[in-house]
A = this chain, B = another copy of it.
Amino acid sequence: MSLPWHPIPGGLTAPTGFLAAGSTAGLKASGKPDLSLLLAPTGAVCAGSFTTNRVRAACVDLCAERLAASGGRARAVLTNSGQANACTGDLGLIDSLRATQATADLLGLAAEEVLICSTGVIGVPIPMQILLAGLDPLVEALSPEGGAAAATAILTTDLIDKQVALEADLGGRRVRLGGMAKGSGMIHPTMATMLGYLSCDAGVPAELWQGMVRRAVDRSFNAITVDGDTSTNDTFLAFAAGEPLSPEHFDALEAGLTAVSQHLARAIARDGEGATCLIETRVEGATDDAGARAIARTICGSSLVKCAVHGRDPNWGRIVAAAGRAGVEFDPEAVALWLGEHQLMAAGQPVSFDRQAASRFMAERAAGAYLSGDTVTIRLVVGDGPGQGRAWGCDLSDQYVRINADYTT
């Protein structure tokens, strides 16, 4: 965690003033919680980051349009889990409008102040009667302790819920950040969605907040890969509401925002389908940060590297070959590579190392504690430039293939 921030219990409702709820309306055949609501009662500055997929759900269009029209302000976000409402034609937008209107009516807000995210099966309309009937108890359940219920209700096939909260003393003032996310598990028969939400109880001008969020997303959600596929619904929404923060603390706030985003992003990668460990790649010595991040992302996304980590195989050749195809200039003769503490390459050539020990390192990491010890760390130096960057991924197991090759027929 970045100083001066320290972790505290809770998630989205740890920051003062935010209310949340999660409930079960019956949208999922499994009977698990499926509706989630976040409310900033006095309104909030809100920055959104959305899927770059050309095929995107109606709810994503609606969020982007409303944030653009309001100059980056919103008061609530409803999330329905079970149907992604993508590839549903005109009906998709109509249903998104109806759901936000009904939510706004219950909250006494204008529909334009309410956003909506959907996750689940694509190509299937939301059962609107079930959703609408579920809104009343959902709104009733809103509370300053509702973060955990909200975090559970956005999940699809995630194995673990994903929440985090940080606190800092910024010039004598207590500021809190909270977050929740869901990952890229697959929904039978089609794909699920990455969703992330962040709350902050300090006020920040909308334009500044948008810049902070954009940079934090680049260093977190845009630096993870599970299988290279992006969804039709991927969305990150960051809300800031509270007394305005003094500008001298903006840098510290951005550091905390980045830390929350990275925590959630790493949790999504760790919970990738069939994964047994998190892979963190740190690249140094590139010409600039963007290049370093691109190399790190390519390494984390390589099927061969992911298989090698799954096999606890210190396969330096695959790592350097993946780096070489990242589309970034570097001098191959300058490459040095470490796996944990084990140096595998120097000056572009393999060095002699203890293969057994390096393999054992990976096996031990994979057996470590969730999101603290279970990370296989790769460090690649590609020159003496100032650019550095990190990316996260997970190993590729035969379990992944079995999950995704199952018949839907």
Interface residue ranges, A against B (CB under 8 Å): 52-56, 87-89, 121-123, 186, 189-191, 227-232, 301-304, 307-308, 310-318, 320-326, 328-330, 332-333, 335, 345, 347-350, 355-356, 358-359, 396-398, 400-402, 404-409
Q: Is the CB of A189 within 8 A of B315?
A: yes
Residues of B within 8 A of A335 (CB): 55
**Which of B313, B321, B396, B404 has a CB less than 8 Å from the CB of A407?**
B313
Q: Is the CB of B324 within 8 A of A232?
A: yes
Q: Is the CB of A317 within 8 A of B401?
A: no
CB distance from A360 to the nearest CB of B (A): 9
**Which of B89, B191, B407 has a CB less than 8 Å from the CB of A333?**
B89
**Which of B228, B355, B396, B398 has a CB less than 8 Å from the CB of A302?**
B228
Q: Is the CB of B409 within 8 A of A325?
A: no
A318 to B190, CA, bound (A): 6
A307 to B399, CA, bound (A): 11
Most buried by B among A88, A189, A330, A406: A189
Q: Is the CB of A329 within 8 A of B89?
A: no
Known A123-B317, A401-B400, A401-B401; judge A409-B359 contact (CB<8 A).
yes
Q: Is the CB of B349 within 8 A of A87?
A: yes
CB distance from A23 to the nearest CB of B (A): 27
A54 — nearest CB in chain B belongs to which residue? B324
CB distance from A325 to the nearest CB of B (A): 5
Q: Is the CB of B53 within 8 A of A316?
A: no
Q: Is the CB of B311 within 8 A of A404?
A: yes
Q: Is the CB of A401 within 8 A of B310?
A: yes
5 shortest interchain CB distances as A-B pairs? A190-B317, A311-B405, A55-B324, A307-B404, A398-B398
Most buried by B among A55, A121, A402: A55
Q: Is the CB of B408 within 8 A of A349?
A: no
**Which of B54, B325, B356 has a CB less than 8 Å from the CB of A52?**
B325
A231 — nearest CB in chain B belongs to which residue? B321
Residues of B within 8 A of A405 (CB): 307-308, 310-311, 313, 396-398
A355 — nearest CB in chain B belongs to which residue? B409
Residues of B within 8 A of A191 (CB): 304, 317-318, 321
Residues of B within 8 A of A232 (CB): 321, 324
